[in-house]
Amino acid sequence: MKNLVLIGPPGSGKGTQSNILVEKRGYAHVSTGDLLRSEVAKGTDLGVRIKSVMDNGELVTDELVTELLKENIDLSSKQYIFDGFPRNVHQAEVLDSVILDGVDYVAVFFNVNLERLIERVINRRVSSDGKHIYNLVSNPPKKEGLCDETGLHLIQREDDKEQVVRNRIEVYERETKPMLDFYKEKGLLAEVNADESIESVNRQILNLIN
């Protein structure tokens, strides 16, 4: 099984698909957004600084996020899904030549209609531990406001509010999208139509990795 590097704008379904692949295929999932949110939750000085960057929808420094990532993976024993890293060409280079040096992987681009994306993200809710993801329109919980799996309250991430989402999409267009050429040139780029249903996107990914 190859390692997977998921690329796509906020709300394109990377987290949802990661959760399914972890369950179905035994991948380990590493999300730099989740790692940063747990750093923020610790309330340290560093956490406070990270929070203000995240709440504005900007990117945290490459050094910090790369360190955090390296501390939280063990490539010798697991196959990973990288979700939210890399976020720019520099991070893509570091992942390719330092972190995944010589390790097989494929980059999967979640292609979505950007016009419908804002609506997708502002309707996103997550369990208060951040682990389960819902959408009020396309994937609602069975009981309003509560996570089906854990019963925890569903919350809206601060950075899923409309103004911040607009900025995150701009950051994506400017910083993250140029990585597609990087992976295309290496012959490592695959693409899924992420406007389709959760099940269909999952089938598309399974076809790529089988």
The residues carrying an active-site annotation are 14, 87, 124, 157, 168
Assess 84 for contact with ligand AMP (CB under 6 A).
Answer: yes
Among 7, 59, 107, 112, binds ligand AMP (CB under 6 A): 59
Identified binder of ligand AMP from the candidate list 3, 18, 79, 91, rule CB under 6 A: 91
Would you count residue 53 as binding ligand AMP (CB under 6 A)? yes
Helix, coil or strand: residue 75: coil
Verify binding: residue 60, ligand AMP, rule CB under 6 A.
Answer: yes
Provide the 3-class DSSP secondary structure of residue 29: strand
Q: Which one of 52-60, 70-78, 190-198, 199-207 is the stretch in contact with ligand AMP (CB under 6 A)?
A: 52-60
How many residues of this chain interact with ligand AMP, rule: CB under 6 A? 17
Cβ(132)–Cβ(126) below 8 Å: yes
Residue type present at position 157: R
Round to the nearest angstrom and report the end-to-end CA distance of the chain. Answer: 8
- What residues from 136 to 165 belong to the interface with ligand AMP (CB under 6 A)? 159
How many angstroms separate the CA atoms of 191 and 6, rounded?
10
Question: For ligand AMP, which is the closer residue by CB, 53 or 152?
Answer: 53
Please tell me whether residue 92 binds ligand AMP under the rule CB under 6 A: no
Quick one: 80 or 85, whose CB is closer to ligand AMP? 85
Q: Which of 16, 32, 79, 127 binds ligand AMP (CB under 6 A)?
A: 32
> Should residue 168 be labelled a site residue for ligand AMP when binding is judged by CB under 6 A?
yes
Q: Is 83 exposed, middle or buried (0-12, 13-18, 19+ CB in 10 A)?
A: buried
85: nearest Cα among 14, 156, 157, 159: 14
Q: Does 107 bind ligand AMP (CB under 6 A)?
A: no
- Report in angstroms the alpha-carbon separations of 89 from 58, 104, 112, 125, 167: 16, 19, 20, 30, 19
Task: Determine, following the binding rule CB under 6 A, whether residue 133 of this chain makes contact with ligand AMP.
Answer: no
**DSSP output for 32-52:** HHHHHHHHHHTT-HHHHHHHH
Residues found near ligand AMP in the complex (CB under 6 A)? 10, 32-33, 36, 53-54, 57-60, 65, 84-85, 87, 91, 159, 168
